[in-house]
Structure formats: structure tokens, C-alpha cells
């Protein structure tokens, strides 16, 4: 066993799906969207989840944070089954796993100022921008936004800025796990890089564990340690990125995905890809 292998297996799974089968409405049992999915997020690692549109990626994200209940199998947060946890525990576990959706309007209330939204994440019980102003401004700085962004509403920002605000809001809740669901898919390439750079810096600083969902293999390759390939609601391939996306993939679908990426095998590492660091070097607020 190599050092990286023993390292990987020694790390505890912060989030785990076991035989998860889930669907929607009356068809949920007869025609499930996800079929017996096993998945594991290990401490400090980023798992990329790839699959074509409709393969069930967002459904899996919602199930992992407890918004959907599996009809079979279970989801374990740090070993605890959400289904059997009491209310207080569910609230704490949910806070420790933050979902960032593709459309930040889904996570940002358009009528709330950005600062109020971040303050709510910082302290859900005593949310107040006045009380938490300095911490809110620190978070804005960490995603390369000016302090006065706190007083504006989400519509006053560009798509990339809004997505960075959504990142700040999710991280201000101090999660151990972040699930990023196609967070750069709606953005232009250069703007994608800004969001990814911010996320990469914060991930390292905050020791985050991440599920990075995307249909874009080149992006997944840049940010992930491990990768799982979802096809028609089943995980058809998984492993370290270089294993699954580097050499000859075992599953025909993964081969197909790879073939559709131009020059996919020679992408630069994140440090080289980054044009310039956007994140000012400030200490992450500890709290």
C-alpha cells in the first residue's frame, strides 16, 4: 500500500451514501432517479461527481443534505443517520453540510441584502448585520468583494459575483462539507476561473471536504482528488482522478465523456491556470 492509499483509507468519511435509491412523487419507487448509489466523502478531499444532464446529480445532492428522503438505503453524516437523528441533531448536521446550487438566486433571497444573508449564515439565531458586520465584511473580502457589498441586494451583482456571494454565505455557516452543484456552469470561462480560485483558496484554508458536481470534465479534473461517474442514476465508475480520467477508463460511458473533451488530458494544474489570485491574503475569521 502506498502512502497516499493508507492516507486515504485512514481518513473518516464525513458523508456517506449507502445503497441510496430515490425518486420523485408517485413514481419514486417504480421509477427511481438514483439506484443503489454508494458514495463517500473523506475528510479533506474533493470528490468530483460527473454525469450528463438528467443523470441524477442534483437529486443526489439534495438527498445528501436531507432535502429528499431515500426510499431505500441511507445517508450518514459523520456516521449518524439523518433519518434517526433528533431535531437538534438534524439542524446541526444540516448546518455542517452546505449545498451551493447552480443558481445563486435559489440560495440568496432577492429581498435580503447580501450582508443580512451572510449574517444569517454566521449566526442563524441572532442574525443581524449590525451585530456581525465585521465578520460579514471579512467573508466578503475572502471572496474578493468590497465591504459595501453588504448593503446591496443580489440583483446588483454580476453572475460571477453572485456566485461568490453564495460561496461566502455557505462557508460563513462553518460547514465541514460543501456540496457545490454546477456552481460555475452558468458562467463564462474567465468568470468560472474567478469562482474556482476563490473556492480553491478557501477550501485549503478552511480544511473543507467537498463534493464538486459538474457535467464539465475539465473543471472536475482541475478541482477534484477523486471522481465518481453517474450514468442513468448509477455510479458506474469511481476512483482517484488520475485513475478514472487519466488512463483507460473501464466504463464505456466514461470513455465517451472523455472523448468529448478536447485536449482533456493536458489541462494545467490550478496554480498555473489561475491568472492572478483574487483572494486578498487575510486570515480566515475563526469563531
Would you say how long the chain is, in residues?
A: 287
Contact between 254 and Mg ion per CB under 5 A? no
C-alpha cell belonging to residue 228: 465518481
184 binds Mg ion (CB under 5 A): no
Site for ligand ADP in 220-249 (CB under 6 A): none
233's grid cell: 442514476
Tell me whether residue 145 or residue 183 sits nearer to Mg ion (CB atom). 183
177 binds ligand ADP (CB under 6 A): no
- The entry of ligand ADP, Mg ion, none near residue 24 (CB within 5 to 8 angstroms by kind) is ligand ADP
**Residue 151, C-alpha cell as written in the block:** 448593503
69 binds ligand ADP (CB under 6 A): no
Interacting partner of 115 out of Mg ion, ligand ADP, none (Cβ under 5 to 8 A depending on kind): none
CB-based contact 138:149 (threshold 8 Å): no
C-alpha–C-alpha distance, residues 219 and 76, integer Å:
27
Residue 286 CB burial class (10 angstroms; 0-12, 13-18, ≥19)? exposed
In angstroms, what is the minimal distance from the CB of 32 to Mg ion?
16
Q: Please, which residue, 41 or 50, has the CB nearer to ligand ADP? A: 50
Which region among 47-55, 163-171, 186-194, 250-258 touches ligand ADP (by CB under 6 A)? 47-55
Separation between Cα atoms, residue 4 and residue 59, nearest integer Å: 31
Query: Can residue 63 be called a binding residue for Mg ion (CB under 5 A)?
Result: no
Query: What one-character DSSP code corresponds to residue 242?
Result: I
Q: What does the alpha-carbon distance between residue 167 and residue 203 come to, in Å, rounded to a whole number?
A: 11
The C-alpha atoms of residue 41 and residue 209 are separated, in whole angstroms, by 7
53 binds ligand ADP (CB under 6 A): yes
* 160 counts as binding ligand ADP under rule CB under 6 A: no
Provide the binding-site residues for Mg ion, judged by CB under 5 A: 57-58
- Where along the sequence are the contacts to ligand ADP (CB under 6 A)? 24, 33, 51, 53-59
Amino acid at each position: 500500500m502506498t502512502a497516499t492509499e493508507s492516507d486515504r483509507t485512514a481518513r473518516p468519511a464525513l458523508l456517506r451514501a449507502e445503497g441510496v435509491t430515490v425518486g420523485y412523487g408517485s413514481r419514486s419507487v417504480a421509477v427511481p432517479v438514483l439506484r443503489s448509489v454508494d458514495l463517500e466523502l473523506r475528510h479533506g478531499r474533493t470528490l468530483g461527481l460527473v454525469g450528463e444532464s438528467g443523470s441524477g446529480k442534483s437529486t443526489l445532492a439534495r438527498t445528501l443534505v436531507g432535502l429528499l428522503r431515500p426510499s431505500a438505503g441511507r445517508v450518514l453524516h459523520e456516521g449518524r443517520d439523518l433519518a434517526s437523528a433528533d431535531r437538534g441533531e438534524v439542524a446541526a448536521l444540516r448546518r455542517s453540510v452546505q449545498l451551493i446550487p447552480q443558481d445563486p438566486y435559489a440560495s440568496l433571497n432577492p429581498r435580503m441584502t447580501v450582508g443580512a444573508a451572510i449574517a444569517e449564515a454566521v449566526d442563524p439565531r441572532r442574525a443581524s448585520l449590525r451585530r456581525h458586520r465585521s465578520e460579514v465584511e471579512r467573508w466578503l473580502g475572502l471572496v474578493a468583494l468590497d465591504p459595501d457589498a453588504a448593503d446591496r441586494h443580489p440583483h446588483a451583482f454580476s453572475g460571477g459575483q453572485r456566485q461568490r456571494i453564495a460561496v461566502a454565505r455557505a462557508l460563513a455557516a462553518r460547514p465541514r462539507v460543501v456540496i457545490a452543484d454546477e456552481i460555475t456552469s452558468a458562467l463564462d470561462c474567465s468568470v468560472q476561473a474567478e469562482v474556482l480560485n476563490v473556492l480553491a483558496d478557501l477550501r485549503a484554508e478552511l480544511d473543507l471536504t467537498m463534493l464538486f458536481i459538474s457535467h464539465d470534465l475539465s473543471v472536475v479534473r482541475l478541482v477534484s482528488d477523486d471522481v465518481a461517474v453517474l450514468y442513468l442514476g448509477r455510479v458506474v465508475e469511481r476512483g482517484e482522478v488520475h485513475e478514472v480520467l487519466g488512463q483507460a477508463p473501464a466504463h464505456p460511458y466514461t470513455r465517451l465523456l472523455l472523448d468529448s473533451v478536447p485536449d482533456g488530458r493536458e489541462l494545467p494544474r490550478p496554480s498555473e491556470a489561475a491568472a492572478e489570485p483574487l483572494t486578498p491574503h487575510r486570515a480566515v475569521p475563526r469563531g
